[in-house]
Structure 1
Amino acid sequence: MIKWTVRIGYLFVLTGLIVGSLFITSYSDQKPAKTLDVFCWGDFLGEELIAKFEEETHIKVNLHTCNSNEELLLKMKKGGVPYDIIFPSDYAAALLIENHLLRPLDKSRLPFFASLSKQLCGQFFDRDNTYSVPFSWEASLIAVNKKLGLDTSHVRDYSLLFSPPPHQLKLLSSQDAGENFLTAAFYLFGNQEMLTSSQIKEVRSLLRKQRTFVEAYCDYRAKYLFTKEHCMIGVGKSCLIDPILEENPQIEFLFPETGIFVSLENVAVPVSAKASEENIYKFINFVFRPENMALHIDTASMFPSLQESLLYTRKRSDYFKALPARILDNYPILFYKLVASPSTIREVWVDVKS
């Protein structure tokens, strides 16, 4: 699933949203007993999954969609709908928790919790999963065309993304400023809490050097650029693996030993939720049933937090289905956490692209 995330802009507006009381709403304290308001990405859950839940439970789902975490928060600020269940990404969940905007979950009512992939639980934003539960995730890998003849048997780090491709070819990189900045920082310095001013200068220099051999900064057009061989190397999102390989089996996806960046989508309940807890937990448990999570995987091309659900997918390839365990069992999981202020990252990115 391609998500139009705008991490830096999101962080700039968040403070204003919180000051303005994020969950101001014009709704009354009551809503129809058989109604749930769910907020998620536009291509995330899918009509089949929602229809199945409604038929089984006779609970009406009002599905509200967004293209970014920023949009999710802006719509909450605008008011009008007190969302009962939301699906924030890891960095968004961190800020929602920090500002006391999520309701603690009763894990005794979540029988699936013990079966979740342990590597996805207890992450930096919610160490005890008090407020959120991992639902699905995607990885940023390195895609390489086999025609380059590179030795890809041992890929230690991200040097392939920061070195000029052979034969004066061009590179494809992410369109996200934060992802590019964080990847460069990790490549240079490993895991850091915050960069020094001299380290930021080195990141800027590396990204400016990389810019000279970048064909495009994009996510959505990556499939076209890889399959048509306009780019022979670059960042490859896991959600594009099947469509890319269907059109061009010469593309190979690589796994840096130092760690793989992931984006983790979570289930959470806002403090402003108006639906009954019974109905909220019915929905959460429903989407975590393996056969139902498989419908989500087929819709959004995400990796699941429940490995068992891969047994029920109808559209994903065997290669795709083997990747979650391969990644989680063999590589450190990295998150796009800010190691510099949003204003610094934005300023560096503007300079790099100018």
Structure 2
Amino acid sequence: MTQLVRMFVIVFVVSFGLIYLTSYLNDSEGYSGSNTLTIYNWGDYVDPELLDRFEDETGIKVIYQTFDSNEAMMTKIGQGGTTFDVSIPSEYAISKMKEDGLLLKLDHSKLPNLKYIDPRFMNLSFDPDNAYSIPYFWGTVGIVFNPELVGDLTFSSWNDLWDKSLRNQILLLDGAREVMGMGLNSLGYSLNDTEEAHLQEAKAKLLQMTPNVKAIVGDEIKMLLANEEAAVGLVWSGDASEIMDENDKLDYIVPEEGSNLWFDNMVIPKTAKNIEGAHQFINFMLDPEVAAQNAEYVGYSTPNEAALALLPEEIASDERFYPDEELTERLEVYDNLGKRMLAHYNELFLEFKMHKK
């Protein structure tokens, strides 16, 4: 019995010593459990130098974790087992997270740099008054095409995708809202339309496109288009920028009928432990110099009006990725259509995909 007690005491002393040593090392670096900030973001979606700079300026240690889909992010935050202080979801996910009670309200008095955001990108339908979210990057859905492979087509209209010369030459994103939205827009309808007759009309028109569709794919669409394995692709503007960096023959356009205006926004999840630090980080990312550096690194469009003025002219003046107000007025944010209507969109999209097979 004495030997057993002795072993227990040794284990206890060693365990306590390890805990103390870990705490001491953290404190010796200027960090403690209450002085960290866990950021949950898409992969390679922030300039690492800016994270280092934030640490240096605030003394707050940044822990950076990544997700690969809004759904995975929402599930992880919904489970509540992991602390996340700041996350960067897309607009439709923000709407759902609000409904599910997964977000904390923001204190705008702690975000003085909010004044630099372009008013066009504030107070949108998915978050009125930006009570829960602040714009991070934005973009469009449009068409990437290879001028050398499409002849005289310039894709000023969605309807150009139905041209018979494009047989087996189009790649589509594997997304119900994007593809159904394209069909609806091509008919002059809103991409948030819920009128059953309009939805059926859009599906019927999409079915007429199937001879032109080579494949419906996921993230590999970027590699396939850059490698010229198809002439045309329906893509997000951020992906278009990456594709064109890989192959400068390609071009990108948003058709005249309009399209989707998407946003990724900074939010504070309900799991946050360092709410003050979260506000500090969001305000830091809103600084024009910081936002400009981040936009150059990531390659997506910044909503920060003052940052845009600091970007190189060839970036800031590129209307493919910074369209003028006339076009942006024809763009629409995806509304939260509710579970039943979203399921119906998915059903119609699946019918289109099955027909393609």
- The two structures have a TM-score, normalised by structure 2, of 0.79
Q: Show structure 1 runs of 5+ residues with no match.
A: 1-30
**In structure 1, what residue type is equivalent to 2:196?**
S
Give how far 1:235 is off: 1.7
Query: What's 1:250 paired with?
Result: 249
1:139 aligns with 2:140: yes
Give how far 1:237 is off: 2.8
Query: What's 1:326 paired with?
Result: 323
Residues 242 and 86 from structure 1, CA distance in 2 versus in 1: closer, same or farther, beyond 3 angstroms? closer
Q: Secondary structure at the match of 1:224?
A: helix
Cα distance in structure 2, aligned partners of 1:317 and 1:228: 28
Q: Secondary structure at the match of 2:33?
A: coil
Q: Secondary structure at the match of 2:306?
A: helix
**In structure 1, what residue type is equivalent to 2:231?**
M
Residues 188 and 164 from structure 1, CA distance in 2 versus in 1: closer, same or farther, beyond 3 angstroms? same
Cα distance in structure 1, aligned partners of 2:266 and 2:248: 35
Give how far 1:189 is off: 4.6
Number of equivalent positions? 318
Q: Show structure 2 runs of 5+ residues with no match.
A: 1-31
Residues 353 and 104 from structure 1, CA distance in 2 versus in 1: closer, same or farther, beyond 3 angstroms? same
1:284 aligns with 2:279: no
Residues 319 and 217 from structure 1, CA distance in 2 versus in 1: closer, same or farther, beyond 3 angstroms? farther
Cα distance in structure 2, aligned partners of 1:329 and 1:56: 40
Cα distance in structure 1, aligned partners of 2:231 and 2:138: 25
1:36 aligns with 2:34: no
CA offsets 1:171-204 (integer angstroms, 9 cap, x no match): 1211212211222123225226542333332222
Q: Secondary structure at the match of 2:264?
A: strand
CA offsets 1:130-188 (integer angstroms, 9 cap, x no match): 22111111222222322333253x82x42123x03516451121121221122212322
Alignment of 1:190-229 (within 5 A): 190-191=189-190, 194-229=193-228
**In structure 2, what residue type is equivalent to 1:149?**
G
Residues 245 and 131 from structure 1, CA distance in 2 versus in 1: closer, same or farther, beyond 3 angstroms? closer
Query: What's 1:150 paired with?
Result: 152
**In structure 2, what residue type is equivalent to 1:126?**
D
1:353 aligns with 2:350: no
Whether contact under 8 Å (1:145, 1:233) holds in the other structure is yes
Whether contact under 8 Å (1:182, 1:337) holds in the other structure is no
Cα distance in structure 1, aligned partners of 2:91 and 2:288: 22
Query: What's 1:56 paired with?
Result: 57
Cα distance in structure 1, aligned partners of 2:166 and 2:349: 27
1:336 aligns with 2:337: no
1:233 aligns with 2:212: no
Cα distance in structure 2, aligned partners of 1:265 and 1:328: 20
Q: Which has the larger radius of gyration?
A: 2
The Cα RMSD (Å) is 2.7
1:188 aligns with 2:183: no
Give how far 1:70 is off: 0.7
- Segment drifting more, 245-254 vs 52-61: 245-254
Give how far 1:34 is off: 0.9
Residues 75 and 109 from structure 1, CA distance in 2 versus in 1: closer, same or farther, beyond 3 angstroms? same
Cα distance in structure 2, aligned partners of 1:177 and 1:113: 33
Whether contact under 8 Å (1:290, 1:309) holds in the other structure is yes
CA offsets 1:312-348 (integer angstroms, 9 cap, x no match): 56xx882575335434454322223355723222222
1:68 aligns with 2:72: no
Identity %, equivalent residues: 26
Cα distance in structure 2, aligned partners of 1:284 and 1:241: 27
